[in-house]
Amino acid sequence: MNQIQMPSTEICDRARASKDARFDGLFFIAVRSTGIYCRPVCPAPTAKSSNVVYYPTAAAAAAAGYRPCLRCRPELSPELRVHGNENAMHRALAMIADGALDDGSIDALASQVSLSARQLRRLFLANAGATPLAVHATRRLLLAKQLLTETNLPVTEVALAAGFKSVRRFNAAFRESCGMSPTAMRRTLHNGTVGETLTLRLAYRPPLEFSKTLAFLSRCAIPGVERITENSYERAIGPADHSAWIKVTRAENKPELHLEISAADPRTIPDVVRRVRRLFDLDADLHSALVDLQSDHFLASSINNNPGLRIPGTWDGFEMMVRTVIESTSLIQSVVEHFGDHRSNAIAGLDSVFPTPQQLVNASLESNGIPKSHAVTVRALASAMLNGDIDFRAGQRLDEFVERATQLPGVGLWTAHYVAMRALNHPDAFPASDHTVRRLLGNGKPLSESKADAFSQSWRPWRAYALIHLWHLSENSNS
């Protein structure tokens, strides 16, 4: 089914009255008497029901002529990402969120989901309440609103960050969308800090086990490329000769992360935000997953104790897959040191750039102690990346990605599903051959891979979330 599953009117009414953050981004509230649309968590007095209209997306509310609220700030709302649904509508939404229309066309987007541009437009109007271009435009303008409010970037750079090549067009579009000019918006709401470092708020629907995600990421962190503590994630980004850095921490008493970005090109900000949201799975439809999984006796205790466990993502799919193939931290560090670049004027401990596919496609990895079988796989992966035979774009079908990945020498189903889970944030990826999973499902005596896969079918389309909880149960039983 292609329809976006907005909560029922009764649920929307209750969520609006209680300002329930679990529904943030799942619907938007438009108030006829004010011409404003809000998040369910808006602190403003609750409007009369007779004055309220609910919309599934911010773009739908904007298309109906409503302006974003200045108090609850819809630009902070988490994305609506319907996990596990691989139909055309939701794949296209995922691709738009991943930047498919930043430089691409509607025709190209429609082709990727096997529709004509006209069919895709009709589908979006019927289910998202706005065209694909309107969804994309609303995302850009809401990002601009956030940058005007939370940063000290000049309006010209805000326009560039939002994807506008003309400041005049940006000013006109912003005024039409928000009812005031960008400079007036900044005078009204600006609370950003002065300096080169920007701090952006990234909201999520609670709960979130932030510290446990950090702990997972720290076990496979790449020295020199990223640094992870009990409370933060850091890495240098950008080219070696102009390195910027980011730091992610958790906000106190709010369902938000704080993203610090230093010295970055404003045009890269949307991509940085997308990557961080994916890294911490901030747009997960976690409530739906838990409703479907919590009745399972294998998962119940972990879900009750850790309801905010999410899929630990990755900053870069190629980097993560190479790390998975090589496995050893010392060997991957050697690869980075010998084949990657060294950053100038970098923060201590974040002075390395992970090698690109171009740098690894013909690399003599065996000379660094990499087993020949692993070296062959890495070079084949680099070649496939350069040829376009494999990529890590959002909106891919799980079976298609797994098929392409397993065509690489040395890549089996475990690796393909594990990479799909972390690099694509695919919620139904499930490496059935995982020994820990098979042992848990067999109560100490490992099930066969086929039986583990059959057992997992009842968890669809949330098998990756089930996997994270199974791994967590295993860690607790071994501690």
How far, CA to CA in Å, does 58 sit from each of 68, 172, 225, 280? 8, 19, 36, 23
| CA–CA separation, 179 and 155 (whole Å) | 17
Give the contacts of 24 (CB within 8 A, at least 6 positions apart): 39, 40, 41, 77, 78, 203, 205, 255
Task: Give CB contacts under 8 A, 24+ apart, made by 341-345.
Answer: 341/239, 341/240, 342/240, 343/236, 343/240, 343/243, 344/240, 344/241, 344/243, 345/243
Contact (Cβ atoms closer than 8 angstroms) between residue 371 and residue 377: no
Contact (Cβ atoms closer than 8 angstroms) between residue 163 and residue 270: yes
Instruction: Report the SS3 class of residue 462.
Output: coil
Angle, helix 329-339 to helix 317-326, in steps of 10 degrees = 130
Walk along the chain (479 residues) and give the pLDDT tens digit of each residue: 445 678 899 999 999 999 999 999 999 999 999 999 999 999 999 999 999 999 999 999 999 999 999 999 999 999 866 544 578 888 999 899 999 999 999 999 999 999 999 999 999 999 899 999 999 999 999 999 999 999 999 999 999 999 999 999 999 999 999 999 999 999 888 776 556 789 999 999 999 999 999 999 999 999 999 999 999 999 999 888 888 999 999 999 899 999 999 988 999 999 999 999 999 999 998 988 999 999 998 899 999 999 999 999 999 999 999 999 999 999 999 999 999 999 987 888 899 999 999 999 999 999 999 999 999 999 999 999 999 999 999 999 999 999 999 999 999 999 999 999 999 999 999 999 999 999 999 988 999 999 999 999 999 999 999 999 999 998 876 65
12 is catalytic: no
Q: Render the burial of 329-350: b for 16+ CB within 10 Å, e for the rest.
A: eebbbbbbeebbbebeebeeeb
| CA–CA separation, 113 and 88 (whole Å) | 5
Q: Percentages helix, strand, coil for the chain, rounded to the nearest 5?
A: 50, 10, 40
| CA–CA separation, 334 and 323 (whole Å) | 12
Contact (Cβ atoms closer than 8 angstroms) between residue 212 and residue 306: yes
Instruction: Report the SS3 class of residue 178.
Output: helix
38 is catalytic: yes
Question: Which of 12, 24, 38, 428 is flagged as catalytic?
Answer: 38
Domain 287-310+427-479 sits in CATH at 1.10.1670.40
> Which of 78, 7, 82, 96 minimizes the C-alpha distance to 39?
78
Question: Which of 24, 281, 428, 434 is flagged as catalytic?
Answer: 434
Structure-block tokens of residue 265? 């090109």
